[in-house]
Structure 1
Amino acid sequence: MDHFTAVRAFVRVVESGSFSKAADSLRLPRNSVTKLVQSLEAHLRIKLLNRTTRRVDLTSDGAAYFERVARLLEEWDEVEDEVARSRSHPRGRLRVDMGTAIASLLLMPTLAEFHRRYPDVQLDIGASDRPVDLVGERVDCVIRAGAVTDPSLIARHLGSLPQILCASPAYLAEHGTPEHPLDLERDHALIRYIVAGSNRQLPVTLTAAGESITVKGRHFVAVNDSGAMLAAALGGLGVMHAPAFISGRHVDSGDLVPLLRQWQAPPVPIHIVYPANRHLSARVRVFVEWMADLFAQSPYTLAPGPRQ
């Protein structure tokens, strides 16, 4: 048995969901892939897959084995890739995860240029505001706001997100314009942001001239997605407190009106994060630099200081 080929065939069957698709991608006859997987099971003396006429499922032993060997194969491919090609020509699959607003407002408008520069990099983008298990979900890197406290992760500071308090002209015409944060408590509805995967609402804390006020207030709608929060604000459902890169274009166009400008909230730091024990491939490196440039060039974000 060609042990390496058998392992690769097994991984490809799991990833594609069928022996036929695995055979096509490996350019092997289907019966060859079947024999390779059977020989691997015989070698390991365990059953890796449950097969029916319609589907292929991992056994519990197979799932544990797949988790380890899939990662090893990926690292093997990365090593061969970096030996075969220079760092100026990264290639392969890159799995990233980021908030929906960052994906749609910062990354997507420039992604065609990224593809022209790095045509052999395949980007799989998870766009959500939920927490991601980098190791368990086999994600190469994530972009997240806030402090990074997990010592098993490496974080590069990409910049910071200034925040703006704003509302639509229609909302203000009906409810009036607040002159002080306490007005938000008495006379206005906030659009609250709920941290994905929890019931915790992000606080709205504003500071001016050494005075700090945390606004609780009432809300008509609370959401766990930044895109939905923006839609609610544009729809006149309340006052929104959000990063300027989400609301800035709409403030510039007049679709949203900035409020209480003398009251500020601290900018939110944002990082690109990856596991400390994972090899940083060329494709991850170029993506990190690309995102750093996006934050540096955006008029609605603050770039970090010089790297030490």
Structure 2
Amino acid sequence: MDQLLAMRAFARVVEAGGFTRAADSLDMPIATVSKLVRELEAHLGVSLLQRTTRRVTVTPEGQDYHAKCTRILRDLEDIDASFNLARGRPRGHLRIDVGGSTARDVLIPLLPDFMARYPDIRIDLGVSDRPVDLIGDNVDCVIRGGPLDSSSLVARHLGNAALITCATRSYLKQFGTPAYPDELKNGHRLVSYVSSQTGRAMPFRFERDGEKIEIKVEHRMGVNESNAHLAACVAGLGIVQTFTYAADSSLRDGSLVEILKPWRPAPYPFHVVYPQTRHVTHRLRVFIDWVVEVFPGRLNEGKSPAKTASSYPM
């Protein structure tokens, strides 16, 4: 038995909550992961996991062993990282997840700088507005907009993005240009951003001189991906609220026009997030430090965001 490999397999099963997701994240067959855990249990003479057809439960002995073997695995990673630090060249594989428009308009244009600084780091970039399970999906970190809702995650603030309300000139010619948020309730067509997690449409929010207005009306169209959400607006399907960095090129070429500018919503916070339980490798640390350095200038810094904002994972 390869005890170190068996320990890694067992730890991943516990963290991922099952054999299938653990096997996927380790890039191993499920049968191999199961065999490694059985061999580890036989070696220790205890049952670490209780298996049923529907779920895997960690036994008390398994919880104790997981805590101890996790410390050992982290120590080994620290040893490896110390040699990388000594050579001054972080290396290895990073898995990063980011929302659609943030990937297109913010992160990807900045990545050539990171890749030039750290040529020995390989990146797998997951692009989706759907929330990911950082442990189960074996993701090192995510970049997301919105308030933080999990105490099991560590986050560093990346800055605040300005939100704007906009439409095409042809739409405004047909339906009129609203001067006040409440006018959106009277015959206007709204294209709402729909949460891929909850299926609920995000309300349109407005703020001016301390006055806050929230518009919840039945939308003409709902879209759950940020790039497609903006594309629906450019196609003339209705009014959207989106980030200035996403709409910037369309505003500059005249495809879109900002409306209700005095009523811009409160700026929106962005963070880079990673699990508390995951060891921060040298390669992850330099990525986090880099993204904290370069992101704010791309997000259109503004005043502190409203604490009650809903999450737009763009």
TM-score by length of 1: 0.76
1:252 maps to 252
Q: Against the structure 1 CA distance between its residues 73 and 253, is the aligned structure 2 distance closer, same or farther, given a 3 Å change threshold?
A: farther
SS in 1 for 2:77: helix
SS in 2 for 1:129: coil
CA drift of 1:203 comes to 1.5
Query: How do 1:177-192 and structure 2 match up within 5 A?
Result: 177-192=177-192
- Report the RMSD for the aligned CA atoms in angstroms: 3.9
Could you tell me how far apart the structure 1 residues matched to 2:153 and 2:107 are? 23
Could you tell me how far apart the structure 2 residues matched to 1:144 and 1:229 are? 17
Could you tell me how far apart the structure 1 residues matched to 2:301 and 2:208 are? 20
CA drift of 1:8 comes to 6.9
Structure 1 residues 254-276: Cα deviation after superposition (integer angstroms, max 9, x where no partner) = 11101011112101111111222
Q: Is the 8 A contact 2:140 2:284 kept in 1?
A: yes
Amino acid at match of 2:188: H
1:271 maps to 271
Q: Is the 8 A contact 2:165 2:240 kept in 1?
A: yes
1:212 maps to 212
Moved more, 184-193 or 208-217: 208-217
2:168 maps to 168
Give yes or no for the alignment of 1:85 onto 2:84. yes
Moved more, 129-138 or 197-206: 129-138
Could you tell me how far apart the structure 1 residues matched to 2:251 and 2:2 are? 62
1:238 maps to 238
CA drift of 1:187 comes to 2.6
Count of aligned pairs between the two proteins: 285
CA drift of 1:101 comes to 1.2
Could you tell me how far apart the structure 1 residues matched to 2:203 and 2:5 are? 54
Give yes or no for the alignment of 1:125 onto 2:128. no
Give yes or no for the alignment of 1:222 onto 2:222. yes
Amino acid at match of 1:119: P
CA drift of 1:200 comes to 2.0
CA drift of 1:129 comes to 1.6
Amino acid at match of 1:85: N
Amino acid at match of 1:78: E
Could you tell me how far apart the structure 1 residues matched to 2:133 and 2:243 are? 24
CA drift of 1:173 comes to 2.5
Which one has the largest radius of gyration?
Answer: 1
CA drift of 1:9 comes to 9.4
Q: Against the structure 1 CA distance between its residues 17 and 136, is the aligned structure 2 distance closer, same or farther, given a 3 Å change threshold?
A: closer
Amino acid at match of 2:74: E
Q: 5+ unaligned residues in a row in structure 2: which ranges?
A: 12-21, 48-54, 305-314
Amino acid at match of 1:124: D
Q: Is the 8 A contact 2:156 2:292 kept in 1?
A: no
TM-score by length of 2: 0.75
1:141 maps to 141
Query: How do 1:18-29 and structure 2 match up within 5 A?
Result: none
Identity of aligned residues (%): 38
Q: Is the 8 A contact 2:191 2:232 kept in 1?
A: yes
Q: Is the 8 A contact 2:266 2:303 kept in 1?
A: no
Q: Against the structure 1 CA distance between its residues 261 and 60, is the aligned structure 2 distance closer, same or farther, given a 3 Å change threshold?
A: closer
* Greater relative contact order (CA < 8 Å, ≥ 6 in sequence): 2
Could you tell me how far apart the structure 1 residues matched to 2:270 and 2:84 are? 32
CA drift of 1:296 comes to 2.5
Could you tell me how far apart the structure 2 residues matched to 1:133 and 1:9 are? 18
